[in-house]
């Protein structure tokens, strides 16, 4: 597979790293998250929803900026740790949330998830029970096919066995059993038990966030906090999936997604602050299944479209805008008035996966790209 130089990320993949995938389910409006700068057509077709030019958080001389709700991310961008990607999406033209999410989580019309394939084929040691974690109640499609993945709502509800029995004695007995094994099962089982022991200590200690970070009290922010705790505990965490739902904004878009943008911004900023120097080995990808149409509808919302926005945050980011905001002119829009897709989401993900150890496996992870 020929790789495109997206200029997103540096590093050679030698270090143990964690990839956190935040999925904004519902089709987040890319033109609200990352509004165009100096575009008169944008204001003509969005008389009530357009972000006022004076309020847009400018990103140097880029032809787009950040929504003012993302003020918590602006300093991270200026520090060179946030990449903004406008006009990103899939080549498929579906308007179905479920089909579009499946395609994007599978990496194309493929079985299993792209993150699951990464974990299966990436170079390095065998995975443990905590190599991949989905924060929530169900296994997301992006992790389908992973050799090992765990679903948990929080560290407090995750344990070996029922959580009410003699967990430590059970771990001791299993450790003795697998300690004598010389085949591949032995080392993997020992790594898993050690990871579970670290989680148990985490629960007992319940240390507060570091570096003055403060998380809000909601499921998304709690998921980020749990992720930070697992990274600090060095349990071998390589991949995390977290959802932030509610972005389908056909009606009264501003009142619907403004709180979600604040939630996203404050959560990511707290996570970045909490991890401190550990962010050097962490990459956070924020993505959505598709964007919305350019024009607002009669219900002060927007309908399903094509091009959306992605964010990539981490210690190895170059802090830039990848590409440019697509041309938003009412006479040349695609389809029923969509934001054009100028960057394939897989071209954003591929260099990140290579840095995280994909090596020569990219043809298996994204064989259609």
- What's the pLDDT score for residue 167? 56
Distances (CA, A) of 338 to 31, 208, 246, 307: 11, 44, 21, 7
Whether residue 356 is contained in a domain is answered as yes
Strands 343-344 and 82-89 turn out to be parallel
Q: Is the dihedral of CA 357, 361, 363, 364 positive or negative?
A: negative
> Comparing C-alpha atoms, which of 8, 93, 37, 41 is closest to residue 341?
93
- Cβ–Cβ under 8 Å, residues 63 and 324: yes
Q: In whole angstroms, give the CA distance from residue 158 to residue 23.
A: 23
CATH of the domain at 272: 3.40.720
Count of structural domains, the chain = 1
Residue 41 vs residues 36, 44, 148, 295, 326: alpha-carbon distances, Å:
10, 5, 49, 9, 13
- Residues 234, 122: Cα–Cα separation, whole Å: 19
Classify residue 3: in a domain, yes or no.
no
Using left for φ > 0, alpha for ψ between -120 and 50, and beta otherwise, residue 189 falls in alpha
CB 287 within 8 A of CB 22: yes
In three-state form (DSSP H/G/I as H, E/B as E, the rest C), the secondary structure along 1-57 is: CCCCCCCCECCCCCCCCEEEEEEEECCCCHHHHCCECCCHHHHHHCCCCCCCHHHCE
- According to DSSP, residue 68 is labeled G
pLDDT of 29 reads: 99
Is residue 4 in some structural domain?
Answer: no
Q: What pLDDT sits at residue 125? A: 73
CA distance 230 to 150: 13
Q: What are phi and psi of 14, to 5 degrees?
A: -75, -30
In a domain, 154, yes or no: yes
Among 41, 44, 80, 45, CA closest to 63:
41
Q: How far is CA 2 from the centre of its chain?
A: 24
Q: What is the domain range of residue 145? A: 18-365
215 token code pair: 């998380």
The pLDDT value recorded for residue 162 is 46
Q: Rounded to an integer, what distance in angstroms lies between the CA atom of residue 265 and that of residue 313?
A: 11
Q: CA 277 to CA 72: how far, in whole Å?
A: 18
Structure tokens at 235: 């349990």
What is residue 328's three-state secondary structure? coil
pTM of the model: 0.89
- Report the C-alpha gap between 151 and 43 in whole angstroms: 43
Task: Single out the residue of 346, 334, 262, 344 nearest to residue 73, CA to CA.
Answer: 262
> What is the spatial distance between Cα 288 and Cα 330, in angstroms, rounded to a whole number?
24
Digit-by-digit pLDDT tens for the chain (369 residues) are 444 544 444 333 334 799 999 999 999 999 999 999 999 999 999 999 999 999 999 999 999 999 999 999 999 999 999 999 999 999 999 999 999 999 999 999 888 999 999 999 998 777 777 899 999 999 999 999 999 888 988 888 776 554 444 455 555 555 555 555 555 455 666 666 766 777 777 777 778 999 999 999 999 999 999 999 999 988 889 999 999 999 999 999 999 999 999 999 999 999 999 999 999 999 999 999 999 999 999 999 999 999 999 999 998 777 899 988 988 887 767 688 999 999 999 999 999 999 999 988 999 999 988
In a domain, 249, yes or no: yes
**Does residue 169 sit within a domain?**
yes
Do β-strands 18-25 and 150-152 pair in parallel, antiparallel, or remain unpaired? unpaired
pLDDT of residue 190: 64
Residue 310: phi and psi, rounded to 5, are -130, 155
Domain membership flag for residue 138: yes
């Amino acid at each position: 597979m020929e790789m495109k130089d997206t200029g997103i990320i540096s590093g050679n993949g030698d270090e143990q790293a964690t990839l956190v995938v935040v999925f904004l389910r519902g089709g987040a409006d890319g033109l609200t998250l990352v509004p165009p700068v100096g575009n008169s057509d944008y204001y003509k077709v969005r008389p009530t929803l357009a972000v006022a030019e004076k309020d847009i958080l400018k990103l140097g001389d880029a032809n787009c900026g950040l929504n003012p709700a993302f003020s918590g991310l602006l300093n991270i961008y200026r520090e060179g740790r946030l990449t903004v990607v406008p006009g990103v999406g899939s080549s498929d033209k579906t308007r179905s949330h479920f089909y579009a999410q499946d395609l994007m989580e599978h990496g194309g019309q493929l079985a299993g998830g792209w993150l699951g394939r990464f974990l299966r084929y990436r170079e390095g040691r065998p995975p443990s029970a905590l190599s991949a974690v989905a924060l929530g109640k169900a296994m997301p499609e992006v992790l389908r096919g992973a050799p090992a993945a765990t679903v948990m709502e929080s560290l407090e509800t995750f344990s070996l066995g029922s959580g009410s029995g003699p967990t430590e004695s059970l771990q001791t007995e299993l450790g003795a059993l697998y300690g004598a094994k010389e085949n591949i099962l032995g080392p993997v089982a020992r790594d898993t038990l050690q990871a579970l022991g670290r989680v148990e200590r985490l629960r007992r200690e319940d240390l507060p966030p570091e570096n003055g970070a403060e998380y809000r009290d909601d499921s998304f922010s709690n998921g980020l906090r749990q992720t930070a705790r697992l990274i600090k505990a060095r349990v071998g965490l390589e991949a995390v999936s977290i959802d932030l739902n509610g972005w389908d904004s056909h009606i009264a878009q501003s009142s619907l997604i403004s709180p979600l943008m604040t939630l996203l911004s404050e959560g990511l900023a707290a996570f970045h602050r909490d991890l401190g120097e550990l962010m050097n080995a962490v990459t956070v990808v924020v993505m959505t299944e598709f964007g919305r149409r350019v024009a607002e509808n009669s219900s002060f919302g927007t309908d399903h479209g094509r091009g959306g926005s992605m964010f990539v945050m981490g210690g190895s980011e170059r802090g830039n805008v990848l590409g440019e905001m697509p041309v938003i002119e009412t006479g040349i829009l695609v389809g029923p008035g969509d934001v054009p897709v100028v960057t394939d989401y897989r071209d954003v993900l591929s260099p990140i996966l290579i840095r995280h150890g994909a090596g020569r496996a990219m043809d298996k992870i994204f064989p259609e790209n």
